[in-house]
Amino acid sequence: MKKNLELKGSNNVANVDKVALRQGLSHHSKYFVKFPEIIPGQDNTLLEIISSFSSITKSQKTIEEIYKCFNQYIKKLGYNFIGIAIPDKESGVLTVRTYNEGKKINILKFSLEDNSNYLVQTYVDKSRKFSSHKDLIDIDCPCLNEYLTIPLVFHGECYGIVIAGSMDRDRNRNECLNTLCSYLSLIASNYSLKNNLNSFCDFDNLTGLYTHRKFQETLSQVLIEAENNNKKVSVAIFDINNMAGINREFGHSFGDEVISDFAKMLKSNLRECDIAGRYGGDEIAVIMPDTENEKALLITKNIISKTSKQVIPQIGSIKANVGIATYPTTANNQEKLLVLAEQSMLISENNTHKNGKSFVLSSSDVNFWNKVALDSLSKVINKRNLHHTFNFEDELVKQLQDKTPSSKITLEVVTSLAAAIDAKDTYTRGHSQSVSVYAETLAKAVNLDEHMVERVKLAAILHDIGKIGISETILRKPGPLTDHEWEVMKQHPIIGVKKILEPIKSLNDLIPIVRHHHERMDGCGYPDRLKGDEIPIGARIVAIADAFHALISNRPYRKALNTEKTLEILRSGAGTQWDKELVDKFIAIIPSFYLTRR
């Protein structure tokens, strides 16, 4: 039988070799017998029964579902009383479910250490038996004198016991059942192997917690249940302080021990319902089902308080930064929930560095427009490569629309937007702020009114906001862009206008400046090929400021140019690329800038 059965199919359920079935073989060698093609009193052949059972098992997801189906097929063989006994080695219990005429009549539990128990004896010695101990399994069937117990054994391992009784003993029927049990043994073995492999893959070797993959899968299930039952779910992400320093000073092996010790302390202080998983290198995430934000904060602070009292030799107590986000209060989907929890964790890390203590922060308490908060959000999105799935532009617009900006708040918000670009494109860090300073100074030099100077200043900060929608592979490419990449890059003024500025009425007057800061005086610019005075004066000012700072800055494809060379390029492009009068005025005011350190 062993070599006639093989595992096939998407569900890894055994398919039975029909030749083997026709031969009537069983892997129980002492019961190798031939069975009749037709089962007495039945319309089905055993081959048809097993083939049908094989087909049914492929649609079942768990072994419990297969056992339930198996009961129905035993009934087809003519048995009146049926039972399935399943051992649990961890708890040391044998659970028996019995069925009379297909209806469940009892659930019994026996200790696997009770050697006087008839079913336990069957499990231990793995041999088929007839028994008349009806009281043991509460058989309420007066005409039934005995029942048959068949252990489900494969490669020396017993996965359960089939119990079957009929009004009369029929050798052929019993041997047919034995063959069917052989097939079930193989299925049980296969499921056990599959579950063991899955279980092995589900746990992180270092911490013993769920792997990142298993954590994500579990969180998905918990959120579905929460949605169906109108419950809240909180997620906390713990980041151990100074792991880089610990690894550097004591070595990575010692660092691994610290992570392992912290995971054990964390796990010992969780509630029974909480679920912990390895989230990153030194990050551990915890799912808190049916837990609102305030309760999650209390639980997390209590955990940090307890873990900080436990001392590890050489480094003392372990400090951790913690970020919390709650579904659906702060986020209504899994990805955003984790992004906000990790963002809060990074912000708490900033506070930890200030005072050296553990810090817990909820995303509900985060000021979205704080520079640290926006930088942290951008870092999370970049690190997790979420730009296609977590729409940063939409989130910015949503947060902007939630505000009623005064002029002061508008400057704060606009500055934060520029910080978002800087966090994404590290090669242009500080670029928007510098362009704003240059543009504001030039606008004043050409005697624009105070209101217009302010709008030019804000537009200059936002001139590259559309780069939020451009891939980092293009933004950070170390060499020249391909034609296709360049066409993508040229979309950033339109992206900035359409996705960020148009939905915000208070910023609508900045649209002409942002949209047209890459137009040229000769009409060869983009996106609308405007020329001369068709280009708004604010856009012409920002274009010069933008070009100047770009030329004096290091870029992935070239080193920064000196001031003399930069001014030479501006002069050569005056009248064709840039407004000549504005270039002349800009060059004249250059001495007012401190160019020695940019």
Instruction: Kindly report, residue by residue over 457-467, the tens digit of the pLDDT.
Output: 999 988 998 88
Asked whether residue 565 carries a pLDDT value surpassing 90, the answer given is: yes
Task: Evaluate the omega torsion of the peptide bond into residue 512 and state whether it is cis, within 30 degrees of 0.
Answer: no
- 372 within a domain of the structure (yes/no): no
pLDDT digits (tens, 9 = 90+) for 24-62: 333 333 333 333 333 444 445 666 776 777 777 776 666
Residues 316 and 251 in one domain: yes
Residue ending a domain, choose from 366, 399, 414: 366
Burial 248-284, CB ≥16 within 10 A → b, else e: eeeeeeebbebbbbbbebbeeeeeeebbbbbbeebbb
Report the alpha-carbon distance of residue 22 to residue 48 in Å, rounded.
11
Q: What is the pLDDT of residue 11?
A: 37
* Model pTM above 0.85: no
pLDDT digits (tens, 9 = 90+) for 143-200: 566 788 899 998 888 988 998 887 777 777 888 888 888 888 888 887 776 665 555 5
In angstroms, the Cα distances linking 401 to 365, 387, 501, 584 are 19, 21, 11, 40
Asked whether residue 15 carries a pLDDT value surpassing 60, the answer given is: no
How many Å separate Cα 388 from the centre of its chain?
15
- 463 within a domain of the structure (yes/no): yes
309-328: average pLDDT: 87
Q: What is the pLDDT of residue 31?
A: 32
Please report, for the domain that includes residue 345, its CATH number. Answer: 3.30.70.270
Residues 187 and 234 in one domain: no
Please report, for the domain that includes residue 17, its CATH number. Answer: 3.30.450.40
- 267 within a domain of the structure (yes/no): yes
Residues 213 and 309 in one domain: yes
Residues 112 and 142 in one domain: yes
Pairing relationship of beta strands 283-289 and 233-240 according to DSSP bridges: antiparallel
Cβ-contact 239, 282 below 8 angstroms? yes
Residues 130 and 243 in one domain: no
- 140 within a domain of the structure (yes/no): yes
Residues 407 and 304 in one domain: no
Q: What is the pLDDT of residue 590?
A: 85
Closest to 454 (Cα-Cα) out of 498, 515, 410: 410
Cβ-contact 547, 578 below 8 angstroms? yes
Residues 282 and 193 in one domain: no
Report the alpha-carbon distance of residue 441 to residue 426 in Å, rounded.
25
Please report, for the domain that includes residue 538, its CATH number. Answer: 1.10.3210.10
Half-sphere exposure in the Cβ direction for 397 (13 Å, CA): 18
Active-site residue, selected from the candidate residues 336, 424, 467, 499: 467
Cβ-contact 574, 586 below 8 angstroms? no
Could you give the number of structural domains in the chain? 3
Residue ending a domain, choose from 177, 201, 225: 201
Residues 191 and 232 in one domain: no
State the pLDDT confidence band at 585, using cuts at 50, 70 and 90: very high
Q: Name the residue range of residue 446's domain.
A: 386-598
Asked whether residue 587 carries a pLDDT value surpassing 90, the answer given is: yes
Residues 353 and 296 in one domain: yes
Asked whether residue 1 carries a pLDDT value surpassing 70, the answer given is: no
Residue ending a domain, choose from 186, 201, 216: 201
Residues 168 and 234 in one domain: no
- 380 within a domain of the structure (yes/no): no
Residues 144 and 178 in one domain: yes
- 378 within a domain of the structure (yes/no): no
Asked whether residue 400 carries a pLDDT value surpassing 90, the answer given is: no
Half-sphere exposure in the Cβ direction for 227 (13 Å, CA): 10
Asked whether residue 8 carries a pLDDT value surpassing 50, the answer given is: no
Residues 23 and 165 in one domain: yes
Q: What is the pLDDT of residue 583?
A: 96
State the pLDDT confidence band at 493, using cuts at 50, 70 and 90: very high
Q: What is the pLDDT of residue 73?
A: 76
* Between 451 and 420, residue with greater pLDDT: 451
Is 244 buried (19+), middle (13-18) or exposed (0-12) by CB count in 10 A?
A: exposed
Q: Is 467 a catalytic residue?
A: yes
- 377 within a domain of the structure (yes/no): no
Cβ-contact 368, 401 below 8 angstroms? no
- 92 within a domain of the structure (yes/no): yes
